[in-house]
Structure 1
Amino acid sequence: MTLLHFFILLPLLAAVAIGIIYKFQKNIHLGWFVLPVPFVIVSYLFTLIPNIQSGSNIYKPLNFMPRIGMNFDVYIDGLGLLFAILISGIGTLVVLYSIGYLSQDEKLGNFYIYLLMFMAAMLGVVMIDNVLMMYMFWELTSISSFLLIAFWTTKEKSTYGAQKSMLITMFGGFMMLGGFILLGSITESYSIREMIQSSDLIASSGVGTLAVILVLFGAFTKSAQFPFYIWLPDAMEAPTPVSAYLHSATMVKAGLYLVARFTPVFMWSTTWVNTILIVGLITLTWASFNAVIKDDMKAVLAFSTVSQLGLIMSLLGVGALAVTAGFNEEIFTVAVIAAVFHIINHATFKGSLFMVTGIIDHQTGTRSIKRLGALLTIMPISFTITLITAFSMAGLPPFNGFLSKELFLEAMFEISQSNVSFLSAISVLFPLLAIVGSIFTFVYSMKLIFGVFTGESFDTPKEPSEAPVLMLISPAILASLVVIFGLFPNILSNTIISPAASAILDRQNFVDVSISFWHGVTPALLSTILIVLVGTVLYYFRDSWSFVYNYIKEAYTLNNLYDQLLKQSTYYSNKATQSLSTGFLRTYLLYIFGFFVLFNFMTMFRTGLNLDLSDLAPIGIQEVILVFVILISLGIIMMTKSRMVSIIMLGAVGFSMALFFVFFRAPDLALTQLAIETVTTTLFLVCFYHLPKVSKLPETCQFKLTNFVVAVLVGLVSILIGLSAYSHRIFDSISEYHIEHVYDLAAGKNMVNVILVDFRGYDTVFETVVFAIAGIGIYILMRMTNRRKDDGNEEHS
């Protein structure tokens, strides 16, 4: 295991340590013990920048389950390093912020354990080369985010949002796993690097397009693309540090990472390219339109996050399209650079905005914009941070969001003039949707600034005041980066952006990145001016046109569709369960044996039996008599109305089986069977003695043809399976080996004892362990029962 493997697992190891520390340490905030973990990781990752910048990608293989191709192989290039730095860097600031945000009264042990689990999962997703191992970490992000979103378990909205996020994202993850398996079967490898090299093989296979669709399900559900975005607004019920971490820089970016990483694999597919581009633009426009009407600050930011993710997704689509359609280098460069740059920018301004929202909620007791206002002079530092980051989100200079938004608009204008045959009919809509989405982005950004900090008065549950310094440090750092990256964007150009952009399309030579504010009077600049003008008018007259949202009926929304699907699936699954789960053991046995018969007969029909009956042992008269005794005993059991007679006849069946072992020259088994039957019969008698008497028994036994047929078929199938196994022996019986070596290898004369203790010693040991575990479980249950009785007696007294 290398240092990189260790750093991926470090948060999990720290989670175990935090659980122990939290149990014994209550005086110091637990976050101070967690803070060094992401800080150490991000500090080490920064030391890798020179290696990646020079083109020396890092590959560290480690076998985990090589037989199924699931290995813990770490691969870091520019793309993986970018996301790993975001995960650990933003994670450091979030932990620092949470120290001031969460009080000691919260379940801090649970919170930080879940947060560290999520951090490890995200690091695994972006640093692993093996898709099976990636899938394991991918689903761990869904599980840990579920726990984080539902942190406040007493709030119904928290548990609802957690369930919704997990159902949607894990559904997409399961679809994605199907795509990975298809890719693995085509390329005979689960390495992403090898899949990239086998892109032509995937394209020529008959299931390549199916793999594309399945992988896109995983990407779209995780990155909250239309129509799967509905889980993200409900996930805002999580504590604000969770929202700032999961929904600005990490979890939702996992879908973007997946698309960027697999673009070289699926570059040949128009389905991949067109879907990413079109779905991204629809998501951008629809989510920004819906963000304007929201009153909860976190709801505005939630739809804003969906919108920004759509923007980045569409840029990845433009970059892929530029290569597949053979456009000039400029379009590819602009689109991919814009995507990478906006991933960084979104993490800075959105993470800070979430933290400021948490500060306002913490200091005023509400997030409702209608109840807020006039906080500018009361919370000047929070206002300054919000002003910087919201202006960046709106795409205003001189902040970093302006630069990436300009590149985005430029890419959309370039692709609309490319005359791609399969997109020419709608390509004119690309810049139009980009402008419309940006206009609404400007409107809700202004709403966050002026709706919260200006106005005549406020109506808040708590008297507002500026936040403590500890809560302001993290958003202030992110706001500072917004300004720094805006004024000096080229500090990222060749260190982070260029290696990441080149990795997206698997290029050996890094693209030349040079970002500046002034490009002349271009369509992008004119569009920005239009966005600001129209957005200002729409914000000022927002009450005059907000009636259009009344036409969106709740009954026709995607949220209602999800709720109805969940409600109906719950209803019909309960109905099916109630119809199948009758509470009778005979019914469940009928299901089990029915499927046993069905599938075995299907197998026999397809493969054929080819029985060899020439070498069977002769059947003696004594064996025929025992069979008749067993059949008569079973018949009496089914027909009698007496429990005592049933027990005696059941014992007769067992003792008859013991006689069979005697005839087959197996005295040890016969003695064991006799002992078991004696003890079982005795226990039955004791138990039935304490059962209540049945007041009414059926006068006649009800004959059920279905049960009879299944019982006969089970016996027939079992006989056929035994005869088939005997007829198709590939190897000699192992019993001959035991007979020959029972003395010289084990120094014993009792073959059964030697087999159990020596030849199958490990099997016997584990069976003994099972008995020991069962005994411990029974002991615990008895102790718990006695303790409840003692508690009941104390309450009664």
Structure 2
Amino acid sequence: MSLLHAAILLPLFYAIAVPLFHKAAKPIHTGWFVLPVPVLLFSYLISYLPAVRGEGPVTESAPWIPSLDINFTVYLDGLGLLFALLISGIGSLVVLYSIFYLSKTKEAIQNFYVYLLLFMGAMHGVVLSDNLVVLYGFWELTSLSSFLLIAFWYQREKSRYGAQKSMLITVFGGFAMLAGIVLLHIMTGTFSIREIIANADQVQSSALFVPAMLLILLGAFTKSAQFPFHIWLPDAMEAPTPVSAYLHSATMVKAGIYLVARLSPVFAGAAEWFWLVSAFGLATLFWGSFSAVKQTDLKAILAFSTVSQLGLIMCLFGLGSAAVYYGPGEDSKLYVLATTAAIFHLINHATFKGALFMVTGIVDHETGTRDIRKLGGLASLMPITFTLAMIGAFSMAGLPPFNGFLSKEMFFTGVLNASKMDIFSMETWGMLFPMLAWIASIFTFVYCMIFVFRTFTGKLKPEELDRKPHEAPLGLLLSPAVLASLVVVFGLFPDILSYWLIEPALASVLPGLLADEFYVHIYFWHGWTTELFMTIGVVALGTLLYMQLKRWQGIYGKLPQKLTLNRIYDRGLFYVDRLSLKLTRVYMTGSIRDYLVYIFTFAILVVGYALLQTGDWDFSSAQYAEITIYEALLITVLIISALAIPFVRSRITMIIVVGAVGYMVTLFFVILRAPDLALTQMIVETVSVALFLLCFYHLPKLRKERSPATFRLTNVLISVGVGAMMTLVALTANDSRLFESISDYYVKESYNLAGGKNIVNVILVDFRGFDTLLEIMVLGIASLGIYALIRLRHNGKQQLLSQDRKGGER
């Protein structure tokens, strides 16, 4: 296992130690013990920039389940390195911010940092795994850890609701993605992303291409909050602000973006991929920006703005996929620019959105509210926070000289180029892309102005605030100040990202399409272009709409409230809950007999079907040894004892007869020279009989009422069916082998490999040591459970006695 493997696993293992740090050093905030982890990871990963840029991807592999083609392979290329740096870099700033945001006395901060580290490690696993099965494992771990982070304040109903919604939607998409991964394996015979990309022609010519693509995109769209699956993200804002700043600016919501970018070499070039990715992205961009304008909570504004910005990035990746259709050459370069813009905006969004979330946390922390109807006039009291808010919001609005302006101009270039395409029916529908993009940008400008000016300008309303506002301490300002500085630096000097980050990532998304002389060059002035006039129009019309907001904002009230996606989700969940409750009541009768009937019937049907499918039955007795007189006697006694059980009327007699069956089996082991099995069987049978006698002794006597005919018939059918099934299984297993028995291997290798002459002991201790260990763990857990129940019962009795005494005293 390499250092790259250790980099992924470090946060996961470090999470185990967080409670120990918290307990050992209570005067010190636990965040200080956690901060070195993301800082160390960022420092280590950034050292790979020259290698990835100059020598190409770095690969390290560790075997996991080689027989199933599942290995823990780390693949560090330009795209993976970019995401890993965002995860660790933004993670460092979020941990630093959380130290000053979360109280070490009022919050369960040890839990917070455990969940955060789990999430950080899982995200690194997603973006650095080459094996799709391993990627899926980390993918679901991000859903689990984000659920815990969103529900951190689980006392609040909204936190629990938001966590549940995010879990259900993203896990649903994860299962769909897993099905898509299985289809890719069927088509290519491998789970390796690199090998699947190498066999992209084979995938695209398969009949399973479209189903696999749809399932993969379903996973990506749910994770990255694309319309109509975006409804979980606004409710996830109930999490603490550091969580929102991390999950929704640089990590979780970018996982779906990463998946689309990573698998673009496999699916890009197809009309289905182009339309699904770009159209859903454009719809998400428009709906997110349109919905953000009507919000009154600062985090809600940012939530819908995140939805909108994710749609923008997704749309660009869809448009950029057209480059694959055109193939290498000059024609493809127009559409490579769209993918370049997507990667550049991915970085820009992480910087300005992280800063804005932290600014929102500062406002909430210092005033006690995020409601813009109660805020206003904070600029003079919080000038630094106001400055950071302006930088982040103006960048998101696409205003110069900030980095958002540059990537927004590149976005306009991408949609304008798309409108001129002569493929995928774009001659008809192409003009919709620049039109919808421009309208969405206007709404983006409006909600950015609302965020800044409704919060920091206007009249101060101290009577509406829970706390007297003042500037935040340096600790809270440091992280957003770093991000805001990057917004300015990347805006003024954008090419510092081109060589080391954007070009290697671009080569990963569109391998083989870039000519040797192609390079990324981002600069401000392009002349009086169409894109610039579009920006001027956005600012002019956006300013007008902001100034007249009260006159037209009433259109949101005209929308049908009963047909909202959130209402459909809630009603759907309600009906599913009711249906499951009714279904559960049908089969959960409280009768153990009914449950056994279900289990045995299912076993008979499944095993019987399997036996019929094999069909190779041979009940020849030629290979069996002769039956001795002792074995015949034991079989006779065993059969008589088994047949007598249904006719016995006394529970005590019934238990003794059942014990007789077990003891006959013990004697069989003795005759067949298996003393260890005989001893085990005898001990288990003796203990079982003794326990049953103790339990049943206290039960009332059996009533001699005649059972209904259906009751008895069901018992007979189940009994005969199970008996016949197990007999057939035993005979079939002995007579018709589908593959060579492994027993010969144990006979030959037990002494050579393990140095033991007792084959059974060697199998239990060496060959199947993990099974034995897990069995011991099960027994240990069961023992602890019994002990806990006994203590609970004892404590309950003590509490009842105490309450009785108090009642007597009163």
Work out whether the TM-score is over 0.5.
Answer: yes
8 Å CA contact retained: 1:80, 1:126: yes
* Residue 98 (1) aligns with residue 98 (2): yes
Distance 2:679 2:226 in 1: 68
Instruction: For residue 606 of structure 1, report the CA deviation from its aligned partner.
Output: 2.5
Distance 1:408 1:768 in 2: 60
Deviations 1:237-266 (A, max 9, x none): 000000001101111111111111111111
8 Å CA contact retained: 2:220, 2:259: yes
8 Å CA contact retained: 1:412, 1:431: yes
Distance 2:68 2:117 in 1: 28
* Partner in structure 2 of residue 506 of structure 1: 511
Which stretch of structure 1 is more off in the superposition, 406-415 or 268-277?
268-277
Distance 1:60 1:679 in 2: 53
Aligned pairs, how many?
785
- Give matches, 1:329-344, under 5 Å: 329-344=332-347
- Give matches, 1:258-657, under 5 Å: 258-325=259-326, 328-458=331-461, 459-507=464-512, 509=516, 511-615=518-622, 622=633, 626=637, 629-630=640-641, 632-637=643-648, 640=649, 642-651=650-659, 653-654=661-662
Counterpart of 1:218 in 2: which secondary structure?
helix
* Partner in structure 2 of residue 86 of structure 1: 86
8 Å CA contact retained: 2:8, 2:124: yes
Counterpart of 2:349 in 1: which secondary structure?
helix
Deviations 1:482-540 (A, max 9, x none): 11111111121222222222221014647312222221222211111111111111111
Q: 1:490 to 1:633 in 2, by over 3 A?
A: same
Candidates 691, 707, 727, aligned match of 2:735 = 727
Instruction: For residue 747 of structure 1, report the CA deviation from its aligned partner.
Output: 11
* Residue 2 (1) aligns with residue 2 (2): yes
Distance 2:526 2:289 in 1: 27
Counterpart of 1:64 in 2: which secondary structure?
strand
Q: 1:493 to 1:591 in 2, by over 3 A?
A: same
Instruction: For residue 28 of structure 1, report the CA deviation from its aligned partner.
Output: 1.1
Which stretch of structure 1 is more off in the superposition, 133-142 or 287-296?
133-142
* Partner in structure 1 of residue 183 of structure 2: 182
Distance 2:2 2:187 in 1: 30
* Partner in structure 1 of residue 168 of structure 2: 167
8 Å CA contact retained: 1:502, 1:510: no
Q: 1:672 to 1:363 in 2, by over 3 A?
A: closer
* Partner in structure 1 of residue 49 of structure 2: 49
* Residue 705 (1) aligns with residue 713 (2): yes
* 5+ residue gaps, structure 1: 749-753
8 Å CA contact retained: 1:499, 1:510: no
Counterpart of 1:425 in 2: which secondary structure?
helix
8 Å CA contact retained: 2:64, 2:71: yes
Counterpart of 1:73 in 2: which secondary structure?
strand
Q: 1:778 to 1:735 in 2, by over 3 A?
A: farther
State TM-score, norm by structure 2: 0.90
Counterpart of 2:401 in 1: which secondary structure?
coil
Distance 1:610 1:84 in 2: 57
Q: 1:361 to 1:634 in 2, by over 3 A?
A: same
User: Which amino acid in the other structure matches residue 461 of structure 1?
Assistant: D
Distance 2:137 2:72 in 1: 11
Counterpart of 1:366 in 2: which secondary structure?
coil
Instruction: For residue 796 of structure 1, report the CA deviation from its aligned partner.
Output: 5.1
* Residue 71 (1) aligns with residue 84 (2): no
Counterpart of 1:56 in 2: which secondary structure?
coil
Which stretch of structure 1 is more off in the superposition, 229-238 or 601-610?
601-610
Q: 1:335 to 1:25 in 2, by over 3 A?
A: same
8 Å CA contact retained: 2:271, 2:424: no
User: Which amino acid in the other structure matches residue 515 of structure 1?
Assistant: I
* Partner in structure 2 of residue 28 of structure 1: 28
8 Å CA contact retained: 2:642, 2:657: no
Counterpart of 1:528 in 2: which secondary structure?
helix
Q: 1:756 to 1:494 in 2, by over 3 A?
A: closer
8 Å CA contact retained: 2:322, 2:332: no
Distance 1:446 1:776 in 2: 59
Distance 1:143 1:679 in 2: 43
Q: 1:619 to 1:338 in 2, by over 3 A?
A: same
User: Which amino acid in the other structure matches residue 333 of structure 1?
Assistant: V
Q: 1:409 to 1:775 in 2, by over 3 A?
A: closer
Q: 1:336 to 1:698 in 2, by over 3 A?
A: same
* Partner in structure 2 of residue 751 of structure 1: none
User: Which amino acid in the other structure matches residue 376 of structure 2?
Assistant: G
State TM-score, norm by structure 1: 0.92
Distance 2:779 2:566 in 1: 50
* Partner in structure 1 of residue 808 of structure 2: none
Deviations 1:24-72 (A, max 9, x none): 1111111112112111221222222222332532222222322222222
Which stretch of structure 1 is more off in the superposition, 79-88 or 440-449?
79-88
Q: 1:79 to 1:547 in 2, by over 3 A?
A: same
User: Which amino acid in the other structure matches residue 273 of structure 2?
Assistant: W
Instruction: For residue 685 of structure 1, report the CA deviation from its aligned partner.
Output: 3.2
User: Which amino acid in the other structure matches residue 565 of structure 2?
Assistant: L
Distance 2:275 2:778 in 1: 56
Deviations 1:153-197 (A, max 9, x none): 101111111111111111111211222222223222222111111
Q: 1:27 to 1:193 in 2, by over 3 A?
A: same
Distance 2:686 2:221 in 1: 64
Which stretch of structure 1 is more off in the superposition, 579-588 or 280-289?
579-588
User: Which amino acid in the other structure matches residue 381 of structure 2?
Assistant: I
User: Which amino acid in the other structure matches residue 254 of structure 2?
Assistant: K
User: Which amino acid in the other structure matches residue 196 of structure 1?
Assistant: I
Deviations 1:522-561 (A, max 9, x none): 2211111111111111111111112211232232111111
Deviations 1:99-137 (A, max 9, x none): 111111211111111111111111111122221111111
User: Which amino acid in the other structure matches residue 189 of structure 2?
Assistant: E
Deviations 1:633-667 (A, max 9, x none): 13313xx3x43454455455556666777888989
Q: 1:589 to 1:666 in 2, by over 3 A?
A: same
8 Å CA contact retained: 2:170, 2:219: yes
* Partner in structure 2 of residue 155 of structure 1: 156
Distance 1:733 1:131 in 2: 31
User: Which amino acid in the other structure matches residue 280 of structure 2?
Assistant: V
User: Which amino acid in the other structure matches residue 550 of structure 1?
Assistant: G
Distance 2:491 2:746 in 1: 79
Counterpart of 1:569 in 2: which secondary structure?
helix
* 5+ residue gaps, structure 2: 806-810
User: Which amino acid in the other structure matches residue 582 of structure 2?
Assistant: K
* Partner in structure 2 of residue 129 of structure 1: 130
8 Å CA contact retained: 1:61, 1:72: yes
Q: 1:257 to 1:625 in 2, by over 3 A?
A: closer
- Give matches, 1:182-221, under 5 Å: 182-221=183-222
Which stretch of structure 1 is more off in the superposition, 655-664 or 389-398?
655-664
Distance 2:600 2:511 in 1: 55
Distance 1:434 1:55 in 2: 38
Deviations 1:699-719 (A, max 9, x none): 556543233222212222222
Distance 2:203 2:280 in 1: 24
8 Å CA contact retained: 2:641, 2:658: no
Identity, in percent, stands at: 50
User: Which amino acid in the other structure matches residue 380 of structure 1?
Assistant: P
Instruction: For residue 429 of structure 1, report the CA deviation from its aligned partner.
Output: 0.3
* Partner in structure 1 of residue 694 of structure 2: 686
